[in-house]
Amino acid sequence: MSDTTTIPTLPKWSLAIPPVAVLVLALSWGRDLGAILLTLVCLGLVGAVIGAVHHAEVVAHRVGEPFGTLILAVAVTVIEVALILTLMVSGGDKAASLARDTVFAAIMITCNGIVGLALLVGSLRHRVQEFRAHASSGALGVIAALVTLSLVVPAFTTSSPGPTFSGVQLAFAGVVSLVLYGTFVFVQTIRHRDYFLPKNSLTDEEHAAAPANRTAYTSLVLLLVCLVAVVGLAKTVSPTLETAVDAIGAPVSFVGVVIALLVLAPETAAAVRAALRDRLQVSLNLALGSALASIGLTIPAIAIASIFLTGPLVLGLDPKELVLLALTMVVSTLTLVQGRATLLQGVLHLTLFSSFVFLAIMP
């Protein structure tokens, strides 16, 4: 039977959302958002997130796990890195800590927010969910090493003033980040791919016919379009967010947290849907893979960009963030080494995430 006769086609709404979101982005780019335009931007952002999740699932069903989750995590992170570099070029000294703040926010959102929400909704439906501890704990180990070398060590080095790296140190950190992330991707997708497959793998979804190559390629292109729209619309709405943040008395850095939440929304939605289907390993692959990609790609990118950028590049975390990071690593280790999770772990991680958000508003 030919490939085209066995494959479901993409629903019309999934084909319409990406160009509509891009159109909204084009109409709103560089303009002051009035009530009507702000509403359109918000609707476009929500639609782009839904579209990104749908097309990511189509691609994932075609290529199989864990390639599908890897594609979504890397695609989101590449666009996020491009946004960071753009803001750093135009932000001057105000953007000195932008890369640090964004990466740290991504770590807290993925390791506590996405993981906690997936554990919560999954345990509410399935009571106890199982996953492969050797895969998830291994990913956490790489995250711990990367975040320590990239965001903790700069606070204690002495070769340059402040919580910064010297040029040689930054280059070393960039190379180490690439080596560790590249090794993890090799292990996840080739050497020990079976470690990252869901334990409960016999689902109706997997018995369904895989999409055709043409359908999968179409979804891949539309996924990238949706992700560009998500990041672009998030950037468009950021001035309005700055006004709102200033109105509640929160620091300007909190805008970065909100933007990170919006950019990571597609992965959050995909992780929750996987947990509801009793595929917690897929949720963990998304969350931890996003954290790894955020560090493993951002640090090398800013190391290269620093050659052309002027001004300081602050990477070292403040004491408050160091405490939250240490607590997150300890709790995540205790969660992931068990191989099974309940409601307790979900509430615990969400509590840490809530603490991060609260302290970002009220430092």
* CA–CA distance, 199 with 330 (Å, rounded to integer): 25
* CA–CA distance, 146 with 137 (Å, rounded to integer): 14
Query: What letter would DSSP give residue 117?
Result: H
Among 202-206, 300-304, 317-321, the range with the most confident prediction by mean pLDDT is: 317-321
* CA–CA distance, 292 with 70 (Å, rounded to integer): 10
Higher pLDDT, 204 or 305: 305
Residues near 93 by Cβ (< 8 Å), separated by ≥ 6?
A: 311, 312
Q: Which residues on adjacent β-strands are paired with residue 129? A: 341
Amino acid at the residue 97: S
Tens digits of residue pLDDT in 96-155? 777 888 889 989 999 999 999 999 999 999 888 888 888 888 999 999 999 999 999 999
Place of tokens 């791919």: 193
Give whole-number Cα distances, 191 to 150, 194, 281, in Å. 26, 9, 18
196-200, 224-228, 289-293, 328-332: lowest mean pLDDT where?
196-200
Give whole-number Cα distances, 79 to 86, 239, 292, in Å. 11, 20, 15
pLDDT score of 327: 96
The mean pLDDT of the chain is 83
Domains and CATH numbers, the chain: 3-361 (1.20.1420.30)
Give whole-number Cα distances, 151 to 166, 279, 356, in Å. 14, 32, 17
Cα atoms in the Cβ-side hemisphere of radius 13 Å centred on 226: 30
Tell me if the bond preceding 319 is cis, omega within 30° of 0: no
Among 29-33, 135-139, 327-331, the range with the most confident prediction by mean pLDDT is: 327-331
* CA–CA distance, 194 with 296 (Å, rounded to integer): 23
| Res 75 pLDDT > 80 | no
Tens digits of residue pLDDT in 257-280? 877 787 788 888 889 988 998 888
| Res 356 pLDDT > 50 | yes
* CA–CA distance, 101 with 98 (Å, rounded to integer): 5
79-83, 159-163, 194-198, 297-301: lowest mean pLDDT where?
79-83
pLDDT score of 65: 64
Place of tokens 């729209």: 229
Q: Which two tokens stand for residue 262?
A: 């919006």
Q: Which two tokens stand for residue 258?
A: 């909100």
pLDDT score of 1: 38
The pTM of this model reads 0.81
Among 61-70, 113-122, 193-202, the range with the most confident prediction by mean pLDDT is: 113-122
Element (H, E) at 130: strand 129-130
The helix/strand/coil state of 274 is helix
**Greatest pairwise CA separation for the chain in angstroms:** 67
| Res 325 pLDDT > 90 | yes
Place of tokens 């960009």: 305
